Amino acid sequence: MLAATVRVTRDLDLAQECVQDAFAKALLTWQGGVPKSPGGWLTTVARNRAVDLQRRERVLGKALPLLVVEEQDPQGPFPDDRLRLVFTCCHPALTTETQVALALRLLCGLSTAEVARAFLVSEPTMAARITRAKKKISQARIPYRVPDAEELPERVDGVLTVLHLLFTTGHTAPAGDRLTRHDLVERALDLARMLHGLLPTAEVTGLLALIELTDARRATRTDDLGRLLLLEEQDRTRWDRAAIDAAVAKVRSALQQGPPGRYALQAAIAAVHADARTWAETDWREIAALYALLERQWPSPVVALNRAVATGMVDGPEVGLAALDALGDEPALAAYAYFPAARADFLRRLGRTREAATAYQEALLLTTNAVERDFLAGRLGSLRVGPA
Amino acid sequence: MEEWTMSQYLVLIYESVQAYVEGGQGLSDDVLKGHMSFGEANGDKIAGGNALQGPETATTIRPGGDGAFTITDGPFLETKEALGGYYVVEAADLDGAIALAKQIPAPGGALEVRPVRVFD
């Protein structure tokens, strides 16, 4: 909806404001019942509001900062406005962090606070980054279009980063009372499919497969009461086998196209999980090996954390805990809840109850998703029941 | 909808002095040829531009708070890559400006593209 409004207003700030206005109006109007196509309704209202405001601006003699390049693009090959907006947000003239932040804020309507949390930075830092980026888009005239065929390959990496972050943010919502934000996952999936249709490289295929594999387990990630279920506890008979098989075929084709990149590797890891009919059958050795490859491709503290966990699953909790503790100095992990949560789990398995409790408490302090908080609190509670 | 206008961008050419020393006359000839073909291919998009004398010819003038000036020998910024010249180009958007900049020689250095500010 924002993308459609940007086309009319050619100004991101104004578009955002109009979209917010439309939501406010909807809250009032829909008290009598939700229209058949709420998205369409909102877009219409936002557009009208934009035209309205523009008219007023013109009377005031103020020129709108121009943002959008082409007016006539009748039946171009890429009709989706969101994809254009993705390429604007992912322009290499912006830093990668900024690209992702902008896309999350503008494409997905995440609040600045949510985007900040996804990046492990403070809200004012993120707000400043987004403001600066919008200014650059408008003043340097970063175009609003899908790049030409010859430019496309070098522009795709940035888009993949954005889609991946979009997906992970939806997969486990940074805040709120539900575990996932399915709207974000769906959007990441749509955009990944579109991009795959446009440019089916190994990495694009890998990312699409990764999203599909994870989404195929969606129904089992929480129980009937919305409580978090670990991979270990999920009812695997309810996984979408057809979707998994189709995605695994994609992973194979991505891996056959040469040395795998980070998305093909992550998809391969997800495929190993999806392939195991039971938790006990999980091939942790394979997973640890894939994480080692991934860490070489993508040396990030979060990948190192996952690799340490996989290592612990192969060689036992003591080895896993040591591998985790070796990462203790990583500043990026200092506010990352999964780090103390993973430590807590290994400590619990080792019977070091008191230390496990401390680690769960630490994880709780860093977790803002209500479903995850309940899970951690439950684990903490069950520790107290056991022997001290 | 109002007509889409072209924007002006300043393209700053930063070059490595060392690269010219090592490359000798051959490199200088190549760079000159590069600029000529850039000009021929894009004549209507180039609004201006000049090559500059070397950074050793630069003088920096710094206004003090009291109306006095400090004059010093050398460029404002001492870097390995020095400003060697510039173009003012016209493009519809940043991608157009980048596509033009890619055609400009900048041995051992880089090109910086900046939108020209318009006051209205």
Q: How far apart are CA A340 and CA B61, in angstroms?
A: 56
* Report for A2-6, A52-56, B20-24, B112-116: range of highest mean pLDDT: B112-116
Q: How far apart are CA A81 and CA A39, in angstroms?
A: 14
- Radius of gyration of the CA atoms of chain B, in A: 17
Query: CA A237, A239, A240: angle at the middle one, nearest 5?
Result: 120
SS3 A99: helix
DSSP for A105-166 reads: HHHH---HHHHHHHHTS-HHHHHHHHHHHHHHHHHTT---SPPPTTTHHHHHHHHHHHHHHH
Among A63, A69, A71, beta carbon nearest to B93: A69
pLDDT beyond 80 at A342: yes
B10-63 pLDDT tens trace: 999 999 989 999 999 999 999 999 999 999 999 999 999 999 998 999 999 999
Q: How far apart are CA B94 and CA A137, in angstroms?
A: 9
A194-250 pLDDT tens trace: 788 877 889 999 999 999 999 999 888 888 888 888 888 899 999 999 999 999 999
Q: Is A93 in Cβ contact with B115 (below 8 Å)? A: no
A30-86 pLDDT tens trace: 444 555 555 555 555 555 555 554 444 443 323 222 233 333 343 433 446 777 887
Among A66, A71, A93, beta carbon nearest to B94: A93
Q: Is B98 in Cβ contact with A141 (below 8 Å)? A: no
Distances (CA, A) of A231 to A6, A28, A273: 41, 42, 9
CB-count exposure of residue A338 (10 Å: 0-12, 13-18, 19+): middle
At position A168, the amino acid (one-letter code) is T
Query: CA A351, A354, A359: angle at the middle one, nearest 5?
Result: 100
Structure tokens given for A189:
């999936």
Specify the pLDDT at position A48. Answer: 57
Q: Which residues contact B69 (CB under 8 A, 6 or more apart)?
A: B61, B62, B63
> Is A6 an 8 Å CB contact of chain B?
no
Q: pTM of the prediction? A: 0.65
Tally the C-alpha atoms within 13 A of residue A291's C-alpha that lie toward its C-beta.
Answer: 24
Residues pairing with B83 in the sheet: B14
Instruction: Residue A295: count other Cβ atoms within 10 Å of its Cβ.
Output: 17
> In degrees rounded to 5, what are phi and psi of residue A9?
-90, -25
SS3 A254: helix
Q: How far apart are CA A305 and CA A343, in angstroms?
A: 10
pLDDT beyond 70 at A377: yes
Q: How far apart are CA B1 and CA A155, in angstroms?
A: 29
Q: What mean pLDDT is predicted for residues A239-264? A: 94
Q: How far apart are CA B8 and CA B45, in angstroms?
A: 9
Specify the pLDDT at position A106. Answer: 81
Structure tokens given for A21:
């206005």
A96's torsion region: left (phi>0), alpha (psi -120 to 50) or beta? alpha
Q: How far apart are CA A91 and CA A108, in angstroms?
A: 17
Mutate to test the interface with A, among B6, B94, B98, B112 (most CBs of A within 10 A): B94
Q: What mean pLDDT is predicted for residues A269-297? A: 94
Nearest in space to B5 (alpha carbons), one of B99, B109, B120, B82: B120
* Report for A51-60, A293-302, A314-323, B71-80: range of highest mean pLDDT: A314-323
> Is A142 an 8 Å CB contact of chain B?
yes
Model confidence at A13, pLDDT cuts 50, 70, 90, reads low
Nearest in space to A330 (alpha carbons), one of A317, A318, A343: A343
CB-count exposure of residue A78 (10 Å: 0-12, 13-18, 19+): middle
Which residues of chain B make contact with A141, given a CB cutoff of 8 A? Answer: 7, 92-94, 115
**Distance, CA of B55 to chain centre:** 13
Q: Which residues of B touch A (CB under 8 A)?
A: 1, 4, 7, 92-95, 98, 113-115, 117, 120
Q: What mean pLDDT is predicted for residues B101-105? A: 96
Specify the pLDDT at position A75. Answer: 40
Query: In chain A, which residue's Cα lies nearest the Cα of B3?
Result: A71
Q: Is B93 in Cβ contact with A143 (below 8 Å)? A: yes
pLDDT beyond 70 at A168: yes
Please report, in angstroms and rounded to a whole number, the separation of the first and last CA atoms in chain A.
55
Model confidence at A179, pLDDT cuts 50, 70, 90, reads confident
Q: What mean pLDDT is predicted for residues A15-28? A: 54
- Radius of gyration of the CA atoms of chain A, in A: 23
